[in-house]
Amino acid sequence: MIPAAFDYQRPASVDEALKAISGGDAKVLAGGQSILPLLKMRLASAETLVDIGRLGELRGMRELPDGGYEVGALTTYADIIEGTKLSWVAEAVEGIGDVQVRNRGTVGGSMAHCDPSSDLPAVALALDYSVVLRSVRGERTLPLDGFFDGPFQTHAEPDELLVAIRRGPIPAGAVGAYKKLEQPASGYSIVGVAAVIASSGGSVSHARVAITGVGEAPYRAKAVEEALLSGDGSPASVAAAAENATDGQTVNNDIHADRDYRTHMAVVFTRRAIEAALGR
């Protein structure tokens, strides 16, 4: 299909991009893996399409002085696979889409688009990332936990550009894993679970569990985390904690999986992700 008519701008700097989105109905084009199909199907429209795809200052990954990490918004999935030091993250990202998607899809686009079945937001949630938002009014940082506001909705303002995601140091001894049940044709998650777990003195000392594909947006499974932190990390305690995977969520019900099946699979894959992070 052919999209509705729109103006097109390709700013040469972030400042120019911020001015371009500061007024009117402008939408940002990064890798184009989400916005272009929506425009072509006329599920979305824009007065102006602002192409930031060539802004090199928004691409790249770097360690921070405090031991944390920052990833530029235009960093691609392929960049993550090549550059991350976390092998489980590389494995998770290798399961996203196909080669073309991984070469073009961007970190910032994934967070800003907030697809309810997207893998990367769950990984970033489990790693306690925040989003860095910039506008002509200034810059602010929001925890990713709470940034997602529903299907394809976030708490970013219309004139804000997501320029990076940023996290603090990973707790000592913490190990992560990502497990998913994917839709065979698209590769999207019917259920996807990221877990970052650390143990100390025979008990779980750190627990972050994030789930995608299940609710209206990727979310932290805080009831699972709390149950893990009060347990010893044994198979029985992990299984009991995983039973809380969908607490507080309206579980999706669609042609790929009905609500009961998806609820059960959320428990199963939450247990698998935690066990993998614990090295079982």
pLDDT in tens, 215-245: 999 999 999 999 999 889 999 999 999 999 9
Over residues 88-114, the mean pLDDT reads 94
CA distance 180 to 85: 21
Q: Do 7-51 and 175-277 share a fold?
A: no
pLDDT at 35 over 80: no
CA distance 157 to 280: 43
Q: What is the pTM of this model?
A: 0.94
Do residues 112 and 120 make contact, with C-beta atoms less than 8 angstroms apart? no
222-229 and 259-277 helices cross at what angle (nearest 10)? 40
CATH code, residues 7-51: 3.30.43.10
Over residues 117-138, the mean pLDDT reads 97
Q: State the CATH class of domain 56-167.
A: alpha beta
CA distance 139 to 148: 18
Chain-centre distance for alpha carbon 143:
12
Q: State the CATH class of domain 175-277.
A: alpha beta
Average pLDDT, the chain: 94
Helix (H) or strand (E) segment spanning residue 239? helix 235-242
**What is the model's pLDDT at position 47?**
82
- Enumerate the domain spans of the chain: 7-51, 56-167, 175-277
pLDDT at 257 over 90: yes
pLDDT at 144 over 80: yes
